[in-house]
Amino acid sequence: MQLFGKMSLLLLGISMSLCVSAEQTKVVEFNVKPGGVVHTFSEKVSKYECIFTYASQGGTNEVCVVLITRTLKFYLLLIPAGTTVKYCSALKQQWLMSVGLSEDDQLFSCSVWRPQGKSYLFFTQFKAELKGTKIEYANAFSETAVTGQRDVPLKPDEFTVGESTVTQRDGKFSAQLSKLTVIGRTRHEEL
């Protein structure tokens, strides 16, 4: 039941975030897929977009729990009783992307992170691109804070920040990524 309690709180928090200002803020779940193939996930708010491109390997150490559907019967009525379901701890390789636009439409933010903290995936590459903005702040983390801990930032030489992109620095990046935060100033046309 503890696992479902945590999942319910996570989903409730996401739902509440979506209800606060649906036009200005979004939090979306997505799967980070290992296998070394380049994947892209993106989300927009208004005319601004965050594009996360990555390739990763591994993930076999992600903690999995085997549950019997009798426990799940109340929650998942479509699964036949007695079926064994392999459920990976708090949505295996499940990541979140949040995008938001400030009330004055001057700043656009994008965060990509693994809510469970450290990821056991090894990222061979990553890039976050903000469309329609000029980056003013960016940081990347090898571990995301959970239960009273602090985020563990990547070393400054592991990634590079450009005008509209943040990317790994080849030969320097340690392949550990659990969170990426980017804030850009929107580009307004003068009249």
Whether the full predicted model's pTM is greater than 0.75, yes or no, is no
**Any domain includes 171:** yes
**Residue 13 belongs to a domain:** no
Range of the domain at 171: 24-61+95-186
The lowest-confidence range among 7-11, 39-43, 136-140, 164-168 is 7-11
Please report whether residue 3 resides in a domain: no
Domain-embedded: residue 84: no
pLDDT digits (tens, 9 = 90+) for 38-95: 999 999 999 999 999 999 998 654 433 333 333 333 333 333 444 433 444 333 468 9
Tell me how many domains the chain contains: 1
Q: Tell me the C-alpha distance between 117 and 135, whole Å.
A: 25
Strand partners, 107: 185
In a domain, 76, yes or no: no
Tell me whether residue 2 is in a domain. no
What residues have CB less than 8 Å from 183, skipping those under 6 apart?
107, 108, 109, 110, 135, 136, 137, 138
Q: Is 108 in contact with 144 (CB distance < 8 Å)?
A: no
Q: Which range, of 58-67, 80-89, 140-149, 179-188, averages the lowest pLDDT?
A: 80-89
Residue 143 belongs to some domain of the structure: yes
What pLDDT, on the 0 to 100 scale, is given for residue 190?
A: 54
Return the pLDDT at 156.
96
Question: What span, in angstroms and rounded, lies between the C-alpha atoms of 176 and 173?
Answer: 8
* Whole-number pLDDT of residue 23: 73
Q: For residue range 103-113, list pLDDT tens digits in order.
A: 999 999 999 99
